Amino acid sequence: MRLRNVKRQKNQLELAFVPMQRGEASPSGKEGTETSRATQACRGPASTDFQMEEVCDPGNLKRALQRVCQNQGSPGLDGMSVQRLPAYLGEHWSQIRSQLLDGSYKPRAIKRVEIPKPGGGVRKLGIPTVLDRVVQQAILQVLQKQWDATFSEHSYGFRPRRTAHQAVARAQEIVAQGHDWVVDIDLEQFFDQVSHDRLMARVAERVTDKRLLKLIRALLSAGILEDGLVKPPEKGTPQGSPLSPLLSNLVLDELDWELEKRGLPFVRYADDCNIYVRSERAGQRVMRSISDFITRKLRLKVNAAKSAVAKPSSRKFLGFSLSDGAEPKRLIASQTLKRFRYRVVELTGRNRGISLDRMIRELTEYLRGWINYFGFCERRTDLRDLDGWIRRRLRSAAWKQWQTGRKRYRELRRRGVPAERAKAVAGCSRGPWSMSRTTAINQALSNRYLTSLGLLTLETWSKA
C-alpha cells in the first residue's frame, strides 16, 4: 500500500504542470557553486525582464514541489496538506500559472506558530499555505542561482554547499591567526525587524521583472493570523517561509560589504555574525562603530545585553566555542551541553513508566541527530564523559523500575551477578543514583549490554 501511494504521488508530480509554451524562458542550467566574492558590477539587476517565466517553468516548479513535499511541514490556514498538493496542482495549475504571469496571484495569510527557544522565550514562526510555499520555493530557486555568487565568501548560512561546520572551521582558522578576541553581535528579533521598504529597494537593484517584484512584495505583506485576527505586517520576513533565508542574506549582505571594506575578519551564518580582532580595545571600538552602522544604516536593533567583546572560549557560535591558545580546538559550548543534559534527563526520567528498551530507543534517536552535528567537536573527553553520565542515568532508571528487593535480586541474578553480591545490594536503601555506581549494577547493565539494546555511544559514533 505504501509503495502504491509513493508511485501515485510520483505520477501526480509528473502531471502537475503543463508543458512550457513557446516563447517562455528555457530551463536554466545547473546551479552555480561559486562562493568567492563577485565584483561590485555583479550586484546589479538581472539581465532579463522575464524572471516570472523562469519561476513558472515546469522543470523549476516540479523541483519546487518535490522540495516542499520532502520538507513536509504542517498545513497553512487553508488546511491543505502536502499530500494533497500534487493532485490539487494537477487540477488547478493552469489557472495558478496564469495568475502568476499576469501579476494577479494573491498569497494567503500566514499562520503564526510559537515554539520555545532552547535558551528561553519563544520563536515566532510563520507557516504559509503549501501552495504559497511552492511559489516561494520556485522563486528561491531562480533568485538564489542568480544571487549566490555575489554574496560574501564569509557568509555561510542558507547557501548551497555551505554548512555551519564550515563556518565554525573558518572561525577557528581566523582565531589561530592571532585574532583571539571576538566581537559577538546579536541582532534583536532580526527576522521580525526587517524593513519591507528597504528590503524591496535592495531586491529592485537585482530584479527588473515588475511582476516578480509585485509578487515578492505581496508575499512579504501577506497577513498573519495571530490571536484570532489577521494582521498585515509592517516589517519582517516570517521564519518558516522558504524565501525568507535568501532575503535575510540580501539584507545582511550590506553588513558583509561594510566589514570587508574595513578589512575586518568575520564569519556570518544567517544573523549570527562574529568579527575577530587582536585586542579587547580594538574589539570595543569595532563594537561601537558596527553597532552604529547596523542601527543607522540597516535600521536593525542590536541586543546589547547579548552582544559582547570577549575571548572565543567564553562565547557560543553555532553551538560551539573555541579553546584558548595558539592552536584553538573546537569545543561544545557550555550552554549547548547544558541543554543536552536537560533533554537527556527528560528522556531517562526514572518515573516515565516505560521499559528500558523503549527508553533507549527514544534516547538513541535524539543522540544520533545530536552527535551528527556536535561530533564535529575536537575534545573527545567531553563525549566520553557524556557517555558515562548517560549510562549511569539508564542504570539509575532501571534500578528504580525494579522497585522491590526481591525483584532487584531476581534481575541481578538473571544478568549474571553472583548470588552473594546480588543479595548484598538488593535490599540496600540507598537511592537509585547512588546505587547506579555499584559493581553489581554495572555488571548487570554493562556497557556491552546497553549497547546490545541499541544505545548509541557518542564517542564511537562521532568517529564513524
- pLDDT tens per residue, range 257-267: 999 999 999 99
Strand order in the sheet with 272-277: 266-269, 272-277, 181-186, 308-310
Looking at the predicted structure, is the pLDDT value of residue 142 above 70? Answer: yes
Angle (CA) 230-139-127 rounded to 5° is 30
In tens, the pLDDT along 57-97 reads 999 999 999 999 998 888 888 889 989 989 999 898 999 99
pLDDT at residue 27, rounded to an integer: 38
DSSP readout, 78-116? Answer: T---TTTHHHHHHHHHHHHHHHHHHT---PPPEEEEEEE
Please give the C-alpha separations between residue 121 and each of 75, 114, 124, 233, 327, in angstroms, as whole numbers. Answer: 24, 10, 10, 21, 36
Average pLDDT over residues 321-329: 94
Q: Dig out the grid coordinates for 438 from the structure.
A: 555499584
> Which tops the pLDDT comparison, 225 or 165?
165
Ranges 35-44, 84-93, 161-170, 410-419: which has the least confidence: 35-44
What is the predicted pLDDT for the residue at 234?
A: 74
Q: How far is CA 407 from CA 239, 299, 446, 458, in A?
A: 52, 66, 19, 31
Kindly report the length of the chain: 464
Instruction: Compute the average pLDDT of residues 120-134.
Output: 84
Question: Could you tell me the pTM of the whole model?
Answer: 0.85
pLDDT of residue 118: 66
Which of 192-201, 229-238, 329-338, 384-393 has the least mean pLDDT?
A: 229-238
Q: What is the pLDDT of residue 46?
A: 44
Is the pLDDT reported for residue 314 higher than 50?
Answer: yes
Mean pLDDT computed over 185-194: 87
Fill in the amino acid letter for 309.
V
pLDDT of residue 230: 74
CB atoms within 10 A of CB 17: 21
Sequence-distant (6+) residues with CB within 8 A of 214 are: 103
The kind and range of the H/E element at 341 are helix 334-347
Q: At residue 281, what is the residue type?
A: R
Judged against a pLDDT cut of 80, whether residue 394 lies above it is answered with yes
Q: What is the largest CA-CA distance in the chain?
A: 88
Close Cβ partners of 284 (under 8 Å, ≥ 6 residues apart): 309
Q: For residue 120, what pLDDT is reported? A: 64
* Kind and range of the H or E run holding 212: helix 210-221
Query: Tell me, what's the pLDDT at 386?
Result: 97
pLDDT tens digits along 2-46: 444 444 555 555 545 544 443 333 333 343 333 445 444 445 444
Task: Name the DSSP letter for residue 235.
Answer: B
Grid coordinates given for 287? 563594537
What average pLDDT does the segment 395-422 reach?
93
Segment 250-273 shows an average pLDDT of: 95
Asked whether the CA dihedral 241, 148, 64, 164 is positive or negative, the reply is: negative
